[in-house]
Structure 1
Amino acid sequence: MYRKYFYASVTLAFLIHFSLSAQESDGYFNNSSAASVYNYNEAFNTSFYLKNGTEYRSASGKPGIAYWQNQADYQINVKLDDVKNEISGTEVITYTNNSPDELEFLWLQLDQNLFRQDSRGARIIPMAGSRSGTKGQDFDAGFNIKSVSVADGENAVVKYAIEDTRMQVFLPGTLKPKGGKVQIKINYSFIVPMYGSDRTGIFETKNGKIFAVAQWYPRMCVYDDIVGWNTAPYTGLSEFYLEYGTFDVNITAPANHIVVCSGELLNPSEVYTASQQKLWDEAKRSDRTVVIRSSKDVADPKSRPSGRKELTWHFRIENSRDIAWASSPAFILDAARINLPEGRNSLAVSAYPIESNHKSGWQRSTEFTKASVEHYSAKWMPYPYPAAVNVAADLNGMEYPGIVFCTWKERGAGLWDVTDHEFGHTWFPMIVGSNERLHSWMDEGLNTFINYLSADTFNKGEFKSDQRDMHKWARILADQSLEPVTAGPDNIKEQNSTILVYVKPALGLWLLRDQILGEERFDRAFKAYIDRWAFKHPEPYDFFRTIENVAGEDLSWFWRSWFLNNWKMDQAISGVSYYKNDPSKGALITIANLQKMPMPAIVEVKTKSGSTSRIKLPVEIWKRDISWTFLYPSTEEISTVTLDPDHVLPDCNTGNNSWKVRQ
């Protein structure tokens, strides 16, 4: 019925288009669009893309034929002092300059310097506090850089300058382009903050401290074709932008600790007891959770190798942009196999204290981790790392390649949500390495979108998301104090960040998938974006161009409305009458676009006899009009006309969405 009425109405609308103005005086056309602020030339302006493609980034949204990015490989050896809460050690960075430019210096990120009492980030924390601040810190934290040298066989000490959370290293000679390499060796230490911007810290349990360790080594800044060196200071509000490479890490910790880390544990026989090694190997073959260290074992000294004060744990992860780890004597440990496409496997691992050990809580963590990773791997791209580790910490949730920190308090749906969200970040931004410092919606928003699908599929919909009422969201999004989605995260009020960074971009993608492109076209384009930019550095326009080119649709009006501006949508029914005053010859229905955002229109018509039908009009009706009249092929009187009856479009004013016959 839908197709029949849609095509009939479009055909008849053309036939009567030029006669409508003559009929206005007869009462057939009641146009209330005079109050409209809509400007179709602004909404559909053809100059959305300000520049053509380049050899680095194609106009089609693909990486260009000469696309390049630099590489940073790390060899790190550190020691944890769990009494002083100190981490100290050495890193050697092998940096490869694949750019066409000679480099006379390097820039590194010193993220721990955020926790100095005089840091820029500390000085912009509001009096009311912030998730990005610290709690209970009464010492001056930050990196203690002991030496920096170029490892050229002689380990020549080089000059460096530290400015807040950045360090500039001056090379003894220029680093050649297109493959030039240099090794930088850095000796350093720092005190782990108790609460570090909800991303790293220490959790005191009754069986010992849990160290959730991140931003724990000097990291290379990205040098790219967009701005060169990306040296924005770290203020705790935005997240990260990092180069890819291989990490080979040795972590020495007290012997009673369990250490978990991004990547593969290379020496399990040296750090686990004989029985734990067997259980570790069993977990790699099991679809059910295998307990490797139980709650009873936590208080038993025999659950750790005897005769040693310290143990060194060796981990390796490849094609990664970062690495993080956790260490504690309090960890319960369990694991299970993750089944990936093409017969590959990974390992789901959970580490949590007795405080989190209950049936509806962290006992299900490995189950949740396994299901989440398997879903995203089958739907979008296979999980690339040898393990997926979920750590219970005193943090709300933070993601790193191969490991995430989730709050120890969560259980049930809450634990599923945070686990699924943090592991969803494997795809955005761990695989698709966007610049979180500038475009946080490209990881948080895209990830929030794929989380909806994951929740719908887990365990027959156990945690299925609620129906999305776009009318309710539209009223929230109509708040004029909201910045555009594309505003940088450091330029968004913190109270607005959840809406603008997570929710609005995710809702926008749902609109594209469900109402504009359709599931098949959208999924094909979205997957193409992941495939094209896996382990690379896309920009927003690379995303926009890819979706348009693969889906075959000009969406400039949508990006402009939803992402680049905070425009509102308000469609209204402005007139209903009968053709030649005869209900049997069809009804003339006029709708108007009163706000700046164009959208397709969904019109539901009910007749006097009770029959109901719907017509969906494409967004192109607004390309040169602020109102649109179409002929509904009625054969009887109409009782009601309703715009967007299922609340799937972001209409901020539903008071003008319905028309009823006068009694």
Structure 2
Amino acid sequence: MTKRLLLYYSKQKVITVVNKLIFYIIMNKYIIYGWLLLLISTAQTYAQRSGGYWQQQVDYKMEIDFDATTHRFTGKQKIVYTNNSPDELTQVFYHLYFNAFQPGSMMDVRSRTIKDPDGRVTDRIFYLKPNEIGYQKIKSLKQDGKALTYKVEGTILEVKLNKAIQPGKKTTFEMEFEGQVPKQIRRSGRDNREGVAYSMTQWYPKLAEYDHQGWHANPYVGREFHGVWGDFDVKITMDSSYVIAASGYLQNPEKIGHGYTTKKVKRDKGAKLTWHFKAPNVHDFAWAADKEYIHDTAPGPHGVTLHFFYKKSLADRYKSTWKKLPDYTAKAMAYVGKNFGQYPYKQYSVIQGGDGGMEYAMATLITGKRQLGSLVGVTVHEMVHSWYQMVLGTNESLYSWMDEGFNTYVTNLTMQHLFRGSVKLNPSGYRSYRRLVESGKEEALSTHADHFNTNLAYGAAAYTKGSIFVNQLNYIIGEENTAKGMLEYFNAWKFKHPTDIDFVRVMEKVSGLELDWYREYWVLSTHTIDYGIKTVQDKGDKTEVVLERIGKMPMPIEVVVTYNDGSKEKYYMPLRIMRGEKPQGDKNMKRTIKPDWPWTFPTYSLTIDRKRGDIAKIEIDPSLLMADIDRKNNVYPKKIDSQTTFPSDKK
């Protein structure tokens, strides 16, 4: 019997008992009212736990002893896990990400068999030597002081609990483990291509998320992540010659030095230092270490301190760009904070490391040999992930487009602000999306990140089609509503795990329009948008324009008519299932609202109160914000081989 059925029948039993007691009151006019109230209260509490929003809580304490000569470390981990779900938990799962970097792992096989492998990976894992592989080995695991039974399956640790975790209760897990840092291949590892010693990301046994969809114990095959909100208290002990950059706030700067404080710290050769970090209310913890790190700081908006770590051995042309980076980072954070929600922590670190650019809690790792535009671009993109994933903690494996796509949308606007001084909606990526459609390789946005058939389809979906999802909202509900909705979304869902439905509901609330159809077509299917001008012909002293929907996905339609005298007029045909109209955007252009276009109607007759000879141009969506896959039929008159023709003239 499923949990859902058990929950249903349990609730029915409580309701049945309450109904019987009410019957006895009516028939016998006496009862112990205390018992009745108790049972009613129990039923209400049970109903509250089974409905509404909830999320798990996990607080980490870790002590790490790192040996830089062998690239291995031992760890002690103490986790306090709070089960805020309405379910009894009889098992838990941990991610052991480093186990992916072994010949024969799922990531290795996937990278060697996918049609278009990531060039950073290909077959590199397959050829790793024993001292180059990554691993995480569990030496012991206890729940509330008692040993547990567990099994390692690739990158997942499966754990059977001695004592079930009841709804609303806490339990403590204590683990001893050891790990070996793999040769840097994908995100994590040692000795990356720019010589950074350690990029320590996804490096510790990490408790898997349990939410309204159940456990998310997905094997690591190279894509995205999902984590549990909590507080991290991490102590890292390693050779004192290394500088450590990490998520969180350093607790003992006076003992560490290295730019965190002006106090000089004596370091004996071969001695170790312990770095103590705390990161509150995050769902991940990352760090990096190198002997050559330069550490710069700069003020950011609203009291944020910005940290920058990069190697002394960088060529002067690269170091000069790193010296310019703080100013751009501060301006970018201020712009994003003003328009999309204020960054909630007091620190953010930009760290040279990794294999490109990857976001983590309160920090990012990026490669550092870049010209200014590239360095600023990757920094802004990864920093914006502090909003879309690190604060708005979507399950980016399942909703990668909400992570990468929303990020791409905001990054484009931020980069315009930094380098152009003004911001204008730009339908960037639409051409890439059209190429994906033409390739026949498109897959629905609802596809789990790991399960796309090609890297091409994943990248175009997550980054391009995801950003178009927001860009098109400017067309569907208006720019003002979209901007207001993005800010409202952040404030309503920060430090939570929002889904696509949650986002759409915010936009519906802000705009007053129904948008479920938009999600269903754009996210759950690969149906495309294609509208065209079918015919244009005189009708007395007026002009009849027949519009047609060629693609399967319906949209509200805007048609702008330009007259021979240079004046313009907009005709707006809402989609009936929107249940309303978007507000008028351009106040300088006359807008005429026409009757709704029912999505089942393949054509729509639009009457213009001017003769065809008075019309210079008719265009569907001149804003270009609608992702119409064939714009050649969107304009009248149509130019073919330098000769003007009209759709109505064609037989």
TM-score range, shorter chain: 0.7 to 0.9
Q: Which residue of 2 aligns with 1:56?
A: none
Q: Which residue of 2 aligns with 1:468?
A: 427
For 2:531 and 2:212, the matched residues in 1 are separated by 42
Post-superposition shift, 1:509? 0.6
For 2:429 and 2:536, the matched residues in 1 are separated by 25
Where 1:443 maps in the other structure, the secondary structure is helix
Q: Which residue of 2 aligns with 1:417?
A: 377
The 8 Å contact of residues 196 and 353 in structure 2, kept in 1 or not, is answered as no
1:338 pairs with 2:300: yes
Q: Which residue of 1 aligns with 2:238?
A: 253
Structure 1: stretches of 5+ with no match in the other structure: 1-62, 280-301
Post-superposition shift, 1:321? 0.3
Q: Which residue of 1 aligns with 2:205?
A: 218
Letter in 1 for 2:457: N
Measured at CA, do residues 362 and 158 of structure 1 come closer, stay the same or move farther in structure 2, by a change above 3 Å?
same
The 8 Å contact of residues 148 and 187 in structure 1, kept in 2 or not, is answered as yes
For 2:50 and 2:391, the matched residues in 1 are separated by 19
Which residue of 331, 344, 351 maps to 1:384? 344
Q: Which residue of 2 aligns with 1:549?
A: 509
Q: How does 1:198-347 map to 2 (within 5 A)?
A: 198-203=187-192, 209-226=196-213, 228-237=214-223, 239-272=224-257, 277-278=261-262, 305=267, 309-340=271-302, 345-347=303-305
Letter in 2 for 1:495: L
1:172 pairs with 2:162: yes
Letter in 2 for 1:622: W
Q: Which residue of 1 aligns with 2:34?
A: none
Q: Which has the higher contact order (CA 8 A, sep 6+)?
A: 1
Letter in 1 for 2:139: K
For 1:169 and 1:347, the matched residues in 2 are separated by 40
Q: Which residue of 1 aligns with 2:601?
A: 625
Bigger Cα displacement from structure 2, 325-334 vs 551-560: 551-560
Which residue of 622, 625, 629 maps to 1:645? 622
Structure 2: stretches of 5+ with no match in the other structure: 1-48, 577-595, 638-643, 647-651
Where 1:622 maps in the other structure, the secondary structure is coil
Post-superposition shift, 1:117? 2.0
The 8 Å contact of residues 398 and 422 in structure 1, kept in 2 or not, is answered as yes
For 1:491 and 1:269, the matched residues in 2 are separated by 48
For 2:495 and 2:233, the matched residues in 1 are separated by 18
What is the identity percentage for the equivalent residue pairs of Structure 1 and Structure 2? 28
Letter in 2 for 1:586: K
The 8 Å contact of residues 439 and 540 in structure 1, kept in 2 or not, is answered as yes
Where 1:174 maps in the other structure, the secondary structure is strand
Post-superposition shift, 1:477? 4.2
TM-score (norm 1): 0.79
Q: Which residue of 1 aligns with 2:451?
A: 491
Post-superposition shift, 1:551? 2.0
Where 2:225 maps in the other structure, the secondary structure is coil
Q: Which residue of 2 aligns with 1:43?
A: none
The 8 Å contact of residues 253 and 327 in structure 1, kept in 2 or not, is answered as no
Matched residue count: 560
Q: Which residue of 1 aligns with 2:136?
A: 143
Measured at CA, do residues 531 and 490 of structure 1 come closer, stay the same or move farther in structure 2, by a change above 3 Å?
same
The 8 Å contact of residues 572 and 591 in structure 1, kept in 2 or not, is answered as yes
For 2:103 and 2:571, the matched residues in 1 are separated by 61
Post-superposition shift, 1:588? 1.4
The 8 Å contact of residues 445 and 505 in structure 1, kept in 2 or not, is answered as yes
For 2:135 and 2:343, the matched residues in 1 are separated by 34
**1:223-249 CA distances to partner (integer Å, 9 max, x unpaired)?**
1122x2222222112x11111111001
Letter in 1 for 2:199: A
Where 1:567 maps in the other structure, the secondary structure is coil
Q: Which residue of 2 aligns with 1:34?
A: none
Letter in 2 for 1:374: A
For 1:470 and 1:451, the matched residues in 2 are separated by 13
1:352 pairs with 2:310: yes
For 2:542 and 2:342, the matched residues in 1 are separated by 54
For 1:605 and 1:316, the matched residues in 2 are separated by 60
Measured at CA, do residues 264 and 639 of structure 1 come closer, stay the same or move farther in structure 2, by a change above 3 Å?
closer
Q: Which residue of 1 aligns with 2:31?
A: none
Bigger Cα displacement from structure 2, 309-318 vs 140-149: 140-149
**1:470-504 CA distances to partner (integer Å, 9 max, x unpaired)?**
76345324233200112111221212222100111
Where 2:297 maps in the other structure, the secondary structure is strand
Computed over aligned residues only, the root mean square deviation of the Cα atoms, in angstroms, reads: 2.7
Measured at CA, do residues 251 and 315 of structure 1 come closer, stay the same or move farther in structure 2, by a change above 3 Å?
same
The 8 Å contact of residues 572 and 657 in structure 1, kept in 2 or not, is answered as yes
For 1:511 and 1:268, the matched residues in 2 are separated by 48
TM-score (norm 2): 0.80
For 1:384 and 1:65, the matched residues in 2 are separated by 28
The 8 Å contact of residues 468 and 627 in structure 2, kept in 1 or not, is answered as no
Where 1:278 maps in the other structure, the secondary structure is coil
The 8 Å contact of residues 470 and 648 in structure 1, kept in 2 or not, is answered as no
For 1:174 and 1:658, the matched residues in 2 are separated by 65
Measured at CA, do residues 276 and 304 of structure 1 come closer, stay the same or move farther in structure 2, by a change above 3 Å?
farther
